[in-house]
Amino acid sequence: MSRRLIRNSVVLDLLSLVVAIEIASIVVFNTAIPWRFREDVWSLLGSLGLGALVGLYIANRSQGAGVPRPSYGRAVSVIGIALSVTAISLVFGRAYWSRNFLLVVTATWLVTALAHRAFRRRRPWTEPMAVVTNEKVLLDHLLAAPHAEIVDVLDPSGLVPEEPLPKGTVIAVDLRAVLSDDMARFVSSCNLAGYPMRGLVSAYEEHTGRLAIVHLHEGWELTVPLASRAPYVRTKRLSDTAMVVLTSPIVLLLGLVISAAIKIDTRGPVIFKQRRIGLEGEPFTLYKFRTMHTRHEMATARFAGRKDQRVTRAGRFLRKMRVDELPQLWNVLRGDLSLVGPRPEQAPFVETFSETIPFYTHRHLVRPGITGWAQVNFGYADSEADTIEKLSFDLYYVKHLSPWLDLEILGRSVWTVLSGYGAR
């Protein structure tokens, strides 16, 4: 099912490009066959085609291990990457190009790409599943997942269904559970009958974007996959630095405006410093624009609440827009942070949670980040229960760390900033 959805997206995006080229040819060249207008237009068309293929490949790889969705942001990414590749090809190839043609192609392609996604999102696909487990928490998360349709829940040691399951139902089996003889025979017969078989943990991760913490044993389930991604972990530091340097002129200008606003609003320093716990449990100094009154800065560590009275007027806006975290780009240059990773926590919280929450310290296996998988999926945690929920997302990131997942997080972070989701 998921492969078919990805294939359909690719085909529809390519057809959208063809339609856009035809419309642009009629509008700009007064002909539906552009090479009749200019014979050397083939280089322009070839660059667009190459850019589209590169954009589709990168955008679809960025979906990571989760279920594919008709994403509007991914449509923008495909077209943006395609235009970048097209521009590079035309510049280095010194080929003919038409500004008006590219503008019409871009506008038409974007409209059609968004339109077919809007139509397909009206009927979101679901994967019918029969779940063999006693883990209520995992089951509740699957029931809440938009693309998982739970048609039956089977007790591993209980009775088998009297009626056959609907054709095409996925059998998701909890591999930690001890199956009764009848249930083991039922699962085996379903496999022989051609029903798709999945491990519960695999299906859970794909549909929820979480890691099933209750199924972790000694943590090797995280360290082994992470070790295989060592080459990317090394290059990630270089790419983070490059992105910070490239955006530094805009960040510095914005920082001056924010600094002035803080000074006008309240007395006190512009920058707030706080000790946080980073890679491999090492402490470091985190920098942020000050958003609280100075009398509260050295108070005992506690979660920020909604309409927290410690926050200044300017601070509320800065927190909502997430721009209070811009000074953390200096932490990225220093190597304390990455652009993407689990958010670093205050030392007192880490000491407490390390004692009370299993595998909490495993989030320190990777460099913490300014934004992360938990931030775009869960938002702000203000209790130990919420911290456990966020940890399931953080550990999912540790296990599935990849450039494609990082790209998805960065893209979704833009929406998080614009919507103010999870801000405190």
DSSP 62: T
Answer whether 351's CB lies under 8 Å from 374's CB. no
Looking at the fold, whether 116 and 143 belong to one and the same domain comes out as no
Distance CA 193, CA 216 (A): 31
Is residue 26 in a domain? yes
- Report the Cα 61 to chain-centroid distance in Å: 12
Query: What average pLDDT does this structure show over 235-264?
Result: 93
Name the residue range of residue 366's domain: 227-419
71 — phi, psi (to 5°)?
A: -95, 130
User: Hey, is 168 helix, strand or coil?
Assistant: coil
For β-strands 283-289 and 338-340, DSSP reports them as unpaired
Copy the structure tokens of residue 44. 């322009």
Out of 57, 92, 121, pick the residue that ends a domain: 121
Last residue of a domain, one of 97, 121, 145: 121
pLDDT value, residue 372: 93
Classify residue 214: in a domain, yes or no. no
81 CB neighbour count, 10 Å cutoff: 18
Shared domain for 239 and 317, answered yes or no, is yes
> 166 and 197: one domain?
yes
Q: In total, how many domains does the chain have?
A: 3
Same-domain status, 168 and 34 = no
Whole-prediction pTM: 0.79
| Residues 150 and 100 placed together within one structural domain of the fold | no
Single residue among 208, 238, 261 that ends a domain in this structure? 208
pLDDT digits (tens, 9 = 90+) for 386-397: 999 999 999 999
Answer whether 116's CB lies under 8 Å from 77's CB.
Answer: no
277 and 140, same structural domain? no
- Indicate whether 352 and 318 sit together in one domain: yes
Indicate if 49 and 138 belong to the same structural domain: no
Do 204 and 342 lie in one domain? The reply is no
- Is residue 100 packed enough to be buried (19+ CB in 10 Å), middle (13-18) or exposed (0-12)? exposed
* Cβ–Cβ < 8 Å for 21, 48: yes
- Between the alpha carbon of residue 128 and those of residues 143, 174, 190, the distances in Å are 11, 16, 14
pLDDT in tens, 315-358: 888 888 889 999 999 999 999 999 999 999 999 999 999 999 99
